[in-house]
Every structure is written in structure tokens, then in C-alpha cells.
Amino acid sequence: MFIGVDLGGTNIRVGAVNSSGQVFHRLSLPTRVNLGLEEVIGRIVSTILSVIEQSEKEGHQIRGVGIGSAGIIDIRTGTVVSSPNFPEWSQVPLKLIMENKIPYPVFVDNDANAFAYGEKWVGVGKNVQSMVCITLGTGVGGAIILGGRLWHGFDGMAGEVGHMTVQPNGLRCNCGNYGCLESYASASSVVRRIKLAIQSGRTTIVMDQVNGDQDKITSTIVYQAALEGDPLAKEIMEETAVYLGIGIANLINLLNPELIVVGGGLANAWDMLYPITIAEVHRRAFASLAQTAQIRKASLGDDAGIIGAAGIASFSLKEVAYAI
């Protein structure tokens, strides 16, 4: 068995994963980024050790640990170069730190890559050789699988589909660029754009639902308001779907993938987003490519990151063995 770790800005999720991709002994702990690097490391280690202990008690043999971490990861050294979710983290040698505290080999990759690996291994991407994953969460994450394998790019940082420019004069993104897909298709961008509209004088039932407190607006509340027919909320959700379609059309023309997988919190609004997104894709992408590319919602939920991280560890260990 391999231990899979989904390391996010909000939660540390850990599980033991068998060779069929089934998860056992799930354990989750709030990350508490505000407590500082050492404390967060301590929380990751104790959660992992606890899952290892439970698994070994049942006679399972642990062979390695995979960590899917938010941020830019140097996969060769297992270093978190930087991460918007961990502002304090800069060049943190996570693999090295973990291997000093855990008696198994540790592999670190980007959380979106882990998510994609999970969906490819046992989820909606099973049997698919080429796919692009897009996660619509606080940010927009992305991962590319080509020829059945993760495409890491020259520096190991490929797949940042959230930072493709989809609107040249658009909103400023966290990365510093303007008009990134992330500024239009992330859950936080839904909140940001409805706030901007409210500040410009637009009215919406969303404000009633948060008792006039804009800080309480979430993408789920906006989605619910759109379902209830609120014109502004509908407009924001439709805009989100259109920009997602623009991004996906670019990916389809560039890579001709079999499958595009959309996950993350905002994918809960998939039924609303999908028809608009698919129409935009067909409006922009080459007809034959758009015809063959399937666009589907992710299937593994919160487990995808754990399963994928464990899968990456298993795969990496084999690769290392072959290399030797």
C-alpha cells in the first residue's frame, strides 16, 4: 500500500491506498497555515504516521508516501518552490523534511497532477490516454496527461491552464497577469465578480442571503441564487461557463485530447455550467476535435488527490527502480 496525501491550504487529507486505488483509513486535519511552517509540517507528519500505524496494525505493508501539494513544485527534488496557499513557504524541501521523519520514500507533486493521476487511474479518465484536468476551486488548477502519463514539462511545472489569458484586458490575477482563466472560472472569481457588480450598483438576492454582509458571499450562494433565477447571479455563472469554454476550446485545439475533466468545488454547478461551456467550445474549437473530445465532471470527489498522490508515489518508485 501507498500513503496518499492531499495537502491543501484548508485541509490535510491522508489515506492508505491499495493497488486497486481503494482508500482506507482516511484522516483529515485542518492545515492551519497561520500557525507557521513548522507547525504545519508537524501536522502533516503526525497525520501520515497515524495512517501508517493503523494500516500496519492490520498487517498492510506500506511502501511509500505521495504528497500532492498546492503550489509550484520542483518534482525532481520534491521542493515546494512557492504556493499561493502557503504564502510563507519558499523553497521548502518537503521530500527531504518528510523522509527525515517518515521511514519510507516520499514523492511530492503538484495537487492538480495528483488529482489528474487519480482520475486517470480509477476515475472518469480510466482507459483514456490523453486528457486535461481543470479544477475550479479557490484557484484554477490544471494537469495534462499525454500518452497515458502526466506531462510535467521541461521544469516540471506544466499544466497551469488557470493562467492562460482568456481576456487580454481582464481582471488582475493572483499571478500578476491580467485576464487569466482563474480570474473568470475559479470559485473565488465568482465571488469577486459578483461583489464588483454589487459595488457598481447592481442588485441581487445574494445580498439578502448574507444579510447585507458581502464578506459572507460564497460561490455556492451565488450558484443557489442563479438556480432561483436571480438575474445577476445567472449572469455571473453564465460568464464563468463561457470563459471556461474559451479555455477548453484552446486546450482542445492545442492538444486534441480524448477527455477534459472538470473538478473542484465549482464543478458542483456542472449542470448549470455544462450546456453553456459546451456551446462555447463548439463555437471556438475545430469542429472535428470538439466532436471527439469528451468533457466530463470529475468522479472521485475529495478522494482524487489522495488516490492520485499514492499512485504517483507507486509509479515514481517503479521508475526509480527501473532507472537503477
Binding site for Zn ion (CB under 5 A): 163, 173, 175, 177, 180
Cβ count near 315 (within 10 Å)? 17
Q: How far apart are CA 25 and CA 281, in angstroms?
A: 40
Pick the closest to residue 111 from 154, 142, 68 (CA basis). 68
What stretches of 128-241 adopt beta strand conformation (E)? 131-136, 140-146, 149-150
Closest CB to Zn ion among 120 and 163? 163
Report, in Å, the least distance between residue 158 CB and Zn ion. 15
Q: How far apart are CA 52 and CA 148, in angstroms?
A: 29
Report, in Å, the least distance between residue 73 CB and Zn ion. 17
Closest CB to Zn ion among 174 and 218? 174
Handedness of CA 64, 126, 145, 159 (dihedral sign): negative
Residue count of the chain, please give it. 324
Closest CB to Zn ion among 55 and 240? 240
Nine cell digits for residue 15: 489515506
Closest CB to Zn ion among 4 and 162? 162
Report, in Å, the least distance between residue 177 CB and Zn ion. 5
Report, in Å, the least distance between residue 279 CB and Zn ion. 25
Report, in Å, the least distance between residue 181 CB and Zn ion. 8
Nearby residues of 88 by Cβ (< 8 Å), 6 or more positions away:
33, 36, 37
Closest CB to Zn ion among 129 and 177? 177
Closest CB to Zn ion among 165 and 253? 165
Report, in Å, the least distance between residue 173 CB and Zn ion. 3
Q: What is the largest CA-CA distance in the chain?
A: 65
Closest CB to Zn ion among 181 and 313? 181
DSSP for 274-298, please give it: HHHHHHHHHHHS-HHHHHH-EEEE-
Pick the closest to residue 119 from 318, 317, 303, 316 (CA basis). 303
Q: Which position has the grid cell 473530445? A: 293
Closest CB to Zn ion among 86 and 117? 86
Report, in Å, the least distance between residue 273 CB and Zn ion. 20
Report, in Å, the least distance between residue 283 CB and Zn ion. 24
Q: How far apart are CA 96 and CA 125, in angstroms?
A: 32
Residue 141 · residue 162 · CB < 8 Å: yes
Amino acid 247 reads G
